[in-house]
Structure 1
Amino acid sequence: METKQLKSKANDRITPYSDQELEFFRQIILSKLNEASQELEALKGALREEIDNTSTKVTYSSHMADVGTDTRERDKIYILYNRTRKFINYLNRALERIENKTYGICKVTGKKISKGRLEAVPHTQLSIEAKRRQR
């Protein structure tokens, strides 16, 4: 396996992965980005629908338990929406690291992040070693 090391434009870091491997990771990230974007749109629609329904329900129902349930559902959707948006941001930053040739380097240890870890969590910036230290 060829591990062509390429100098980074951004901060003189070197990626341990070849252009072919970086393209492999890019495809994984793009696939996840597509899925997350679709999920975000669905959540956006659900949130709009929940807000519209709440204004209608408040008019017809004034029972506190109903209002509480509606609020809880809206909050759950909002939390999922924010979590998905955050995930999309992580994926976009991973694409930037691929572009800058800094992808696959642990930001704590400075060592190569294993290919298996990047396949499982392609947006990670931490090696297993660094992640374990966080606990």
Structure 2
Amino acid sequence: MAKDKWSKKDLEAFKIDILEKKNAAIKDLSKIKKRTDNLIDQSNSNSIYSSHMADAGSDHQEMENAYYMMQREDSFIKYLDKALNMIEDGTFGVCIQCDELIPKARLDEVPHSNKCVGCKERNKL
């Protein structure tokens, strides 16, 4: 078990920050979905008429980019949910390898981290 744990006050601050990030990601995901729906509608309405191949290619590229961004936002939301679960089960902010507290700066950037930077770097080698 970890030698140290984040205080309840710190955990509450992390939770608020994570929930803010999650709400922002949900809003971004909604905007991307609306944009994708608009692209699909435009594509369907233009299909009656012939269009230039370059325009069709640009439309398809834009849709691919939108789907990619949707996937990234969805994954980010799942990671934020994972961080919230770690807060609830008492494992948030503790490295699973060295059992030390993960620095606040790392948790601010990657709230679902379960390894400190040192252990993460050692795993890469």
Asked if these proteins are the same fold (TM beyond 0.5), I'd say yes
Structure 1: give runs of 5+ residues left out of the alignment. Answer: 1-12
2:19 corresponds to 1:34:
no
Comparing 48-57 with 25-34, which one deviates more in the overlay?
Answer: 48-57
Partner of 1:100: 89
State the one-letter code of the partner of 1:102.
Answer: T
How far residue 107 of structure 1 moved from its aligned partner, in angstroms, is: 3.1
Q: Indicate if the aligned counterparts of 1:107 and 1:125 stay in contact, CA closer than 8 A.
A: yes
How far residue 108 of structure 1 moved from its aligned partner, in angstroms, is: 4.0
The percentage of counterpart residues that share the same residue type is 37
Q: Aligned ranges for residues 24-63 of structure 1 at < 5 Å?
A: 24-63=13-52
Q: Indicate if the aligned counterparts of 1:43 and 1:77 stay in contact, CA closer than 8 A.
A: yes
**Are the structure 2 counterparts of residues 58 and 110 from structure 1 closer, same or farther at C-alpha, using a change threshold of 3 Å?**
farther
State the one-letter code of the partner of 2:85.
Answer: E
**Are the structure 2 counterparts of residues 61 and 96 from structure 1 closer, same or farther at C-alpha, using a change threshold of 3 Å?**
same
Match 1:21 to one of 10, 33, 57: 10
How far residue 56 of structure 1 moved from its aligned partner, in angstroms, is: 1.4
Partner of 2:114: 125
In the superposition, the TM-score normalised over structure 1's length comes to: 0.82
**Number of positions where the alignment pairs a residue of Structure 1 with one of Structure 2:** 123
2:74 corresponds to 1:74:
no
Alpha-carbon distance in structure 2 between the residues aligned to 1:115 and 1:63: 52
Alpha-carbon distance in structure 1 between the residues aligned to 2:114 and 2:37: 34
Alpha-carbon distance in structure 1 between the residues aligned to 2:103 and 2:65: 34
Alpha-carbon distance in structure 2 between the residues aligned to 1:107 and 1:72: 41
Structure 2: give runs of 5+ residues left out of the alignment. Answer: none
How far residue 16 of structure 1 moved from its aligned partner, in angstroms, is: 1.5
Alpha-carbon distance in structure 2 between the residues aligned to 1:95 and 1:46: 29
How far residue 81 of structure 1 moved from its aligned partner, in angstroms, is: 0.6
Partner of 2:76: 87
Partner of 1:7: none
In the superposition, the TM-score normalised over structure 2's length comes to: 0.88
Q: CA RMSD in A?
A: 1.7
Partner of 1:6: none
